[in-house]
């Protein structure tokens, strides 16, 4: 199975029913999996912060939700995460393509992307980094399990070594 198929299965394993997302080149494969899969209802947002709101509403309505976006997009969610999801104890599962680390060519992706694990720690959101596909499905489904049972968000950061990287590095 591809990394995106593994992740889509893990979302289903974790009981995720609603997926809110904003595209990214690497995330495109996973979005393609979930949009065509009738186990999931999907919501394309205009800004990733909205997705956090949508997932909070979904939880209050009885659904488990996941956020799919890139690390820059996760940076767009910080006020919503830290003034709603965390203090109201409303969980979601984040699956985020992490830029800014190994293989990164774009300096604009570095400050938030490379530091995203620490930024999440600072606002009280547990997270883990996945660097190879081997344990991907188990990691994502366990992340969902702990998010929904402890009622707090949890984010899985997928390195470019999992999702494949853009080959735009300077020659």
Nearer to another protein, 2 or 151 (CB): 151
CA neighbor of 27 nearest in space, from 56, 70, 63: 70
| b/e sequence 141-170, b meaning 16+ C-beta within 10 Å | bbbbeebbeeebbbbbbbbbebbebeeeee
Q: Which residues bind another protein (CB under 8 A)?
A: 17-18, 20, 41, 43-47, 49-63, 65, 79-80, 82-84, 87-90, 151
CB of 24 to another protein, least distance (A): 17
Q: Please, where are the H alpha helices in the chain?
A: 3-13, 28-35, 48-60, 71-75, 78-80, 110-114, 116-122, 136-150, 160-163
CB of 17 to another protein, least distance (A): 8
Nearer to another protein, 19 or 158 (CB): 19
- Please check whether residue 31 is in contact with residue 68, taking contact to mean a CB–CB distance below 8 angstroms: yes
Distance CA 171, CA 152 (A): 44
Tokens representing 47 are 């800004």
Nearer to another protein, 90 or 162 (CB): 90
- Please check whether residue 12 is in contact with residue 6, taking contact to mean a CB–CB distance below 8 angstroms: no
Nearer to another protein, 91 or 100 (CB): 91
CB of 150 to another protein, least distance (A): 12
CB of 79 to another protein, least distance (A): 6
CB of 102 to another protein, least distance (A): 32
Give Cα 167 to chain centroid, integer Å.
23
Nearer to another protein, 62 or 171 (CB): 62
């Amino acid at each position: 199975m591809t990394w995106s198929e593994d992740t889509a299965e893990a979302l289903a394993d974790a009981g995720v029913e609603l997926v809110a997302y904003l595209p990214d080149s690497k995330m495109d494969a996973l979005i393609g999996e979930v949009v065509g899969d009738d186990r999931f209802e999907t919501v394309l947002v205009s800004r990733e912060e909205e997705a956090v709101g949508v997932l909070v509403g979904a939880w209050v309505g009885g659904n488990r939700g996941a956020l799919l976006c890139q690390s820059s997009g996760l940076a767009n969610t910080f006020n919503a995460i830290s003034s709603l999801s965390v203090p109201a104890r409303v969980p979601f599962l984040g699956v985020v393509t992490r830029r800014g680390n190994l293989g990164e060519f774009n300096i604009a992706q570095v400050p938030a992307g490379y530091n995203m694990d620490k930024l999440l720690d600072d606002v009280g959101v547990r997270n883990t980094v996945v660097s190879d596909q081997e344990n991907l499905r188990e990691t994502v489904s366990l992340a969902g399990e702990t998010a929904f049972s402890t009622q707090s968000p949890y984010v899985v950061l997928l390195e470019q070594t999992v999702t494949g990287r853009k080959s735009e590095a300077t020659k």
